[in-house]
Amino acid sequence: MRRSTQFLEREGHTISNPVIKFAPSNFPKDICEVEVIRDVTKCISCGMCAAVCPFGVHERKTGYNRVSKPLSYLCIGDACKDQPFYCVDHCPKKALSVGQNQNYISIGDSRWTRDLILGTWKQAEKGLPLHGLKYEIGNSGGGFDRLFFKFPKEGRTEAIENDAINTELELNKREGRKISIRVPFYGGGMSFGSVSLKVMLARAKAARAWGTFTCTGEGGYPEALKPYDDNMITQVATGLFGVSEESLQRVRIVEFKYAQGAKPGLGGHLLGDKVTAEVARMREAVAGSSLFSPFPFHSVYSVEDHKKHVDWIKEINPDALVSVKVSTPSDVDMVAVGIYYAGAHIIHLDGSYGGTGAAPDIAKKNIAMPIEYAIPMVHEFLKEEGIRDKITVIASGGIRTAYDAAKAIALGADGIVIGTADLVALGCVRCGCCESNRGCPRGIATTDPELSEIITVEWGAQRIINLYAAWRSTLIDILKQLGMQSITELVGRHDCLINADYIKGKETG
């Protein structure tokens, strides 16, 4: 019963993909790129626009004096210009125009541009992949944003059915139980307290639907997640919040967190306001007092100490895979080798530009190196040591899109971990207020009872399921274009990438 999905997969049965359902924004209004502007001094409310628009942007409501204000978020924008139903052309009084939405301009930052945020929302809404450079890269001017795929002109495997392209990833390359996930990514650790239980449940539900994992973070293992044990990773971090033998035995993967990319060298932060009674109970702490996880593991001062840690887990849960999450110091390659020799199955590299519930800005910006450098460093070093095929390398920290994921894999990772993108799917705008007052104004990174009402588990799960579906489609498309049939073929294929900084002379652009 417990391992049923696992069994089916091993027997060669395919499980059908999760159902994609339309899951629009949970707020009454959506933010969009375009703004449909009606000049009310010219408009006579004849309703021609309402009669021609097939998307419901314009409405001429029965019994009302005037045409309703255009619902810009339903407008398809520029794509409409050449259509026979373009309202601007049909307006007899020339009262309509389509411009750029002001709200759209103010959203986003250089890492997560407005298009990446809105693009993730769209994918979470419809489950369909998006095309176009603006949905592929951000505007940070470095790292993934300067990397592009070099698709061969010949060799597209157009003939291959999408279903025949394998996106599965085997997480255990050592002896022992095999655990494969259907998509080469899983959800990163987010503790109860940093996010609401509903968000945890939504992520867990989505993980189960896609046959992958999500992680509890270090805030304990709420009982409500019990049905998802098979798809949960539980975290042992320096605070040891909520860690018990029982919780370690429930799961198939245990993750050691040495550091977190966004605040390497610092422990977890959960500021007092977010330590509600419920959270405090789960963490065996006092409500209302800030919780700072200590740093580091004071029991670990050497690789040998680390091995003791891993052995301890293996003793408690012999079947479990052990993942070790580390940040990216300059000697990350050495760390990786040490982790392998200590007996871990997965090394999880968390780069410095990853998300966090709360971290000092100085840490997020300045400490440790971006994941783009750490991946090839570790990949190459493990290869030199002859152990690359004995350990799974998972990367995270600043992976925003399926393109970033594919690039990370091409740089040398086996798979990736999703954090912020999950939350953006749930409506995060990255305002960065996760830590303040009652927490997230959008009901995600909060345990405030009223605010967490904004999200429902069903809706949230569907949004993440949709996002994963879109990501998977994108990955399949990339593989097809590269003439590959499996995601594992892409690992470490530097040659598939070009770096815009390395293009000389006129080739640029």
Partner 1 sequence: MRGISKALKIKLEVLLGNDAKLSDGAFERELYSMDIGVIPFSRLLFKTLPDLIIRPKNIEALKKIIKVADEEQIALFPRGLGSSGLGGVIPTVGGIVLDFSSLNEIDELDRENRMITVQAGARWSDIEKFLRTEELAMRAYPSSFFSTVGGWIATGGYGIGSFKFGHLQSQIEAIEVLFPSGEVKSIKQDDEAFSRFFGTEGQFGIILTATLRLRTKPIKSMPHLIYFECVEAVVTFIKDMINAGIEPYHIKYVDSAYLEKTNKLLEEKLFRERDAIVVTFEDAAEDQKFLSFAAKQGIHADEYLARYLWHERLFSMKRKGHGSTPLACEIILPLENFAPYLNRISQMAARFKVRLNVESHIIGKDDALVLVHYDSDVRELRTYLAHLTLIPLLTRLGTTFRGTPYGLGIWNAPFIHDKFDRQMLRCYKAYKHEVDPHNILNPGKFFAARTKWANIPGMLLNPAVFRLITRMVPVFSPIIAQPILKEKSTKDETALEKTVYSCVKCGNCAANCPAYLVTQDELLNPKNKLYLAKKLLEEEEIAKIDAEKVFLCLHCGMCRDVCQNDLDLLTAWSELEKRLEDRFGKPEKAIRNFVSAMEESEDYWRFIYAQKV
Partner 2 sequence: MPKKYSIERVLAPSRFPPVGKFVIERNEKECIHCGRCTLVCLYGVHKRREDDPRFMSEPVNHLCKGCFRCIQECPQEALTIKNNDNYLLLGDSYWSPEIFSKIWYQAETGSIPVSGAGYTGPFSGEGFDSMWTDMSEIVRPTRDGIHGREYISTSVDFGRKVPILTFDTKGKIISPLPQICSIPMPIIFDVIPFGYSKNIYEALAKAASFLGTFMLIDPAEWFNSKYRASLVPLLTDLSKNWNQKFGLLEFEGLIKKCKMVEVAYDREVLKVIEEIKKISTETIISVRVSFGDTTTKIVEELAFAGAEVIHLCADINGKVIDSFDEQRFVKDAILDTHKLLVDHKIRDEVTLMLSGGIAMAEHVAKAIICGADVTAIDLPLLIALECRYCKRCHDGLSCPVELKALNPDYGAQRIINLMGAWRDQLLEVLGAMGLRDVRRLRGEVGRAILYEDVQHETFDTIFGEGGTHNIKSSY
For partner 1, the binding residues (CB under 8 A) are: 28, 44-48, 51, 56, 59-60, 62-66, 68-69, 71, 92
The least distance separating partner 2 from the CB of residue 208, rounded to whole angstroms, comes to 26
> Residue 431 binds what, of partner 2, partner 1, none (CB under 5 to 8 Å, by partner type)?
partner 2
> Residue 4 binds what, of partner 2, partner 1, none (CB under 5 to 8 Å, by partner type)?
none
Pair 367, 345: CB distance under 8 Å:
no
The least distance separating partner 2 from the CB of residue 355, rounded to whole angstroms, comes to 4
> Residue 10 binds what, of partner 1, partner 2, none (CB under 5 to 8 Å, by partner type)?
none
- Helix, strand or coil for residue 497? strand
The least distance separating partner 2 from the CB of residue 372, rounded to whole angstroms, comes to 8
The least distance separating partner 2 from the CB of residue 343, rounded to whole angstroms, comes to 14
Q: If you compute the radius of gyration of the chain from its CA atoms, what whole number of angstroms results? A: 24
> Residue 92 binds what, of partner 2, partner 1, none (CB under 5 to 8 Å, by partner type)?
partner 1
Residue placing its CB nearer to partner 1 in the complex, 69 or 390: 69
- Helix, strand or coil for residue 241? coil
Residue placing its CB nearer to partner 2 in the complex, 335 or 425: 335
Residue placing its CB nearer to partner 1 in the complex, 54 or 227: 54
| Token reading at 282 | 């789960």
| Token reading at 382 | 């493990």
> Residue 15 binds what, of partner 2, partner 1, none (CB under 5 to 8 Å, by partner type)?
none
> Residue 60 binds what, of partner 1, partner 2, none (CB under 5 to 8 Å, by partner type)?
partner 1
> Residue 44 binds what, of partner 2, partner 1, none (CB under 5 to 8 Å, by partner type)?
partner 1
The least distance separating partner 1 from the CB of residue 117, rounded to whole angstroms, comes to 24
> Residue 64 binds what, of partner 1, partner 2, none (CB under 5 to 8 Å, by partner type)?
partner 1
- Helix, strand or coil for residue 85? coil
Residue placing its CB nearer to partner 1 in the complex, 93 or 111: 93
| Spatial separation of the C-alpha atoms in residues 72 and 333, rounded to whole Å | 50
Write the single-letter amino acid at 325.
Answer: K
Residue placing its CB nearer to partner 1 in the complex, 66 or 226: 66
The least distance separating partner 1 from the CB of residue 44, rounded to whole angstroms, comes to 6
Residue placing its CB nearer to partner 1 in the complex, 44 or 287: 44
| Spatial separation of the C-alpha atoms in residues 440 and 489, rounded to whole Å | 40
C-alpha separations of 397 from 64, 291, 394 in Å: 52, 23, 11
The least distance separating partner 1 from the CB of residue 60, rounded to whole angstroms, comes to 6
- Helix, strand or coil for residue 96? strand
| Spatial separation of the C-alpha atoms in residues 150 and 159, rounded to whole Å | 20
Length, in residues, of the chain: 509
Residue placing its CB nearer to partner 1 in the complex, 17 or 45: 45
| Residue from 426, 414, 383 nearest 488 by CA | 414
Residue placing its CB nearer to partner 1 in the complex, 39 or 315: 39
| Spatial separation of the C-alpha atoms in residues 423 and 425, rounded to whole Å | 5
Pair 479, 486: CB distance under 8 Å:
yes
**CB-based burial label for 498 (10 Å; 0-12, 13-18, 19+):** middle
> Residue 199 binds what, of partner 1, partner 2, none (CB under 5 to 8 Å, by partner type)?
none
The least distance separating partner 1 from the CB of residue 48, rounded to whole angstroms, comes to 5
| Token reading at 8 | 């089916």
- Helix, strand or coil for residue 262? coil
Pair 439, 453: CB distance under 8 Å:
no
Pair 369, 398: CB distance under 8 Å:
no
Cα end-to-end distance, the chain, whole Å: 55
The 8-class DSSP code of residue 193 comes to T
The least distance separating partner 2 from the CB of residue 98, rounded to whole angstroms, comes to 16
List, in sequence order, the alpha helices (H) in 146-211.
197-209
The least distance separating partner 2 from the CB of residue 99, rounded to whole angstroms, comes to 12
The least distance separating partner 1 from the CB of residue 453, rounded to whole angstroms, comes to 14
The least distance separating partner 1 from the CB of residue 70, rounded to whole angstroms, comes to 11
| Spatial separation of the C-alpha atoms in residues 303 and 292, rounded to whole Å | 25
> Residue 65 binds what, of partner 1, partner 2, none (CB under 5 to 8 Å, by partner type)?
partner 1
> Residue 283 binds what, of partner 2, partner 1, none (CB under 5 to 8 Å, by partner type)?
none
| Spatial separation of the C-alpha atoms in residues 9 and 32, rounded to whole Å | 41
> Residue 51 binds what, of partner 1, partner 2, none (CB under 5 to 8 Å, by partner type)?
partner 1
Residue placing its CB nearer to partner 2 in the complex, 309 or 345: 309
Residue placing its CB nearer to partner 2 in the complex, 89 or 109: 109
Residue placing its CB nearer to partner 2 in the complex, 417 or 451: 451
What are the residues facing 214 on neighbouring strands?
Answer: 232
**CB-based burial label for 360 (10 Å; 0-12, 13-18, 19+):** middle
Residue placing its CB nearer to partner 2 in the complex, 18 or 138: 138
DSSP E strands in 194-239: the ranges are: 214-215, 232-236
